[in-house]
Chain A
Amino acid sequence: MPAKVALKGVRRRGGLFEGIKSNIQALAVGVKYFIDPQRSTLLYPKEYIEHRPGYRGFIVFVKDKCISCAACARICPSAAMKMVRVTEVDPKHPDKPRQKQYPVINYQRCIFCGYCVDICPTEALYHTPFQDVVYESLADMFLTLEAFQVEPTRPSLSEGTPVVYEVDEERGLVKRRR
């Protein structure tokens, strides 16, 4: 047996006049936006967001500053960063090759939290101010030590214009071209 449905009468606020007034108000708002649209869509390849300094984007590694402390690999919450063992030859002591550890990153796992950049004692890691980098395959997202040291190219830079989203007092969130 289905439960007995009790339909409560809906109490209306105001009368017919109030209804007509509110309908006209709604239509007026619609017409206002139709005539003067305030679009906030980002036309992505043609426009790109210029992020503020401090944005946590792609991470680049500076090998010369690294002291192989592995603090970045240990702090990484998603285990995206791993240390690899590399055999290096010091020019001062060419007869004694030595083993060093350097971090590499897996962008399939990286969540761009920036802990590795924060914890690095010698600032050997830094953020680029963008995230929109494309790789051809999933395997390419495992960066090798060489690839980790190169700043990636941003695809939208070649044809796009920079755009900033700002909060306006009257219009709300608005898109501005730089």
Chain B
Amino acid sequence: MIGVVLETLLYIIAYPPLWQVLIVGFAGALLVAMVAIWFERKAAARVQRRIGPYWASPRLGGFMTIVADMIRYVTQQVIIPFTVDRLAFIVTPVAVLVITILPLAFVPLSPHEIYWPVASMEYSLLIALALTTLPPLLTVVLGWASSNKFSVIGSLRESYVITAYELVAILALLAPAAATLSFNIAYIVEAQHPIKWFAILNPLAFLAAFLAILMSTSAFPFEIPESEHEVVAGPYTEYSGILYALNMGGGYIRRFIYAMLVALVFLGGWAPYTPGSGPLTGFIVPSLIVLIKACLIVFAMSFLRSVYGRYRLDQALDAAWRLALPLALLGLGWSIVLAYVNLI
């Protein structure tokens, strides 16, 4: 009897998707978010003739500053104003993080079903994309729960921006699916195997996806919902301490997950490398290749912070409907042409 219970417990604990979400998902996403924040600050400082974080650890390039920031966030006092909707105010940031990380469960990083059970799953791209659209809804809830004018305005802006750019992001990310006639991410990666990457074959969709992700995750120069000069911190105005850190980290993790999807769907995933069958060559190496590609995309997005100025809301929406949406539709059309002439 006890043996059966122990076996069941062991099965639950050793269940691969749980480990993937826990280890790769939470720890990896946390590390990536920290590295992304660090790179963003250092890159912006380099371009703007500053040094950036430095004194906390000069040899590591000031990376410990980010760790110290995190410790500060964790130990800071959490102030809950008495005008807010208490339950929604506390629960939503936690839900943001959890729901933000959900799409990782449907993103295969290896073609083998043993190591990554979703690898053989049809519609994995569609499900992952559908799940990435959930967190912005919670941002709207954040604004509502705060019952603060800045929060409400910020949430309104967020809803405008996501309506425009989520559509573009999804259309652009579905373009490879139209070309390969499959929603299976592992199949799409295999289809672009040696160097037939969709970023090269279909640059329009790639550009549209990049632009839409940049905008819809409110990456730094385009942080229209929480622009500091206009609406104090947008939906996060009333938040402090760990709850604010959850919100902020959620944004970075969301961008990283989008970057992972782009790396798989447009940049060929583990493409130049042919995965073997062992745990090292079949699981760890392909995962690392995808991770590095995703990190490069996140770094490229962070770098843009130092080049571009912030768009106004109307400029951003104008660019979405007049520029990005036609671009995405053209990309989709070009994908259909690719499928028709059997280029893939």
Contacts and interface: CB of A to CB of B under 8 A. Distances in A.
A27 B307 contact: yes
A29 B307 contact: yes
Nearest to A30: B307
B308 interface: yes
Chain B, interface residues (CB within 8 Å), range: 10 to 19
Interface stretch (B16-24, B43-51, B259-267): B43-51
Contacts of B46: 33-34, 37, 39
B9 to A, nearest CB: 51
Contact of B51 (A26, A34, A41): A41
Interface in A12-35: 26-27, 29-30, 33-34
B263 to A, nearest CB: 21
Interface string A71-92: 0000000000000000000000
Interface residues of A, number: 13
B54 to A, nearest CB: 7
Contacts of B308: 26
Contacts of B240: none
Given A34-B43, A43-B54, A26 B307 contact: yes
A99 interface: no
A34 B47 contact: yes
A38 interface: yes
30 contacts: A7-B314, A26-B307, A26-B308, A29-B307, A30-B47, A30-B303, A30-B304, A30-B306, A30-B307, A33-B46, A33-B47, A33-B48, A33-B306, A34-B43, A34-B46, A34-B47, A34-B303, A34-B306, A37-B46, A37-B47, A37-B49, A38-B49, A39-B49, A39-B50, A39-B51, A40-B49, A41-B49, A41-B51, A43-B51, A43-B54
Interface of A: 7, 26-27, 29-30, 33-34, 37-41, 43
Given A33-B306, A38-B49, 4 more contacts: A7-B314, A30-B306, A34-B306, A39-B49
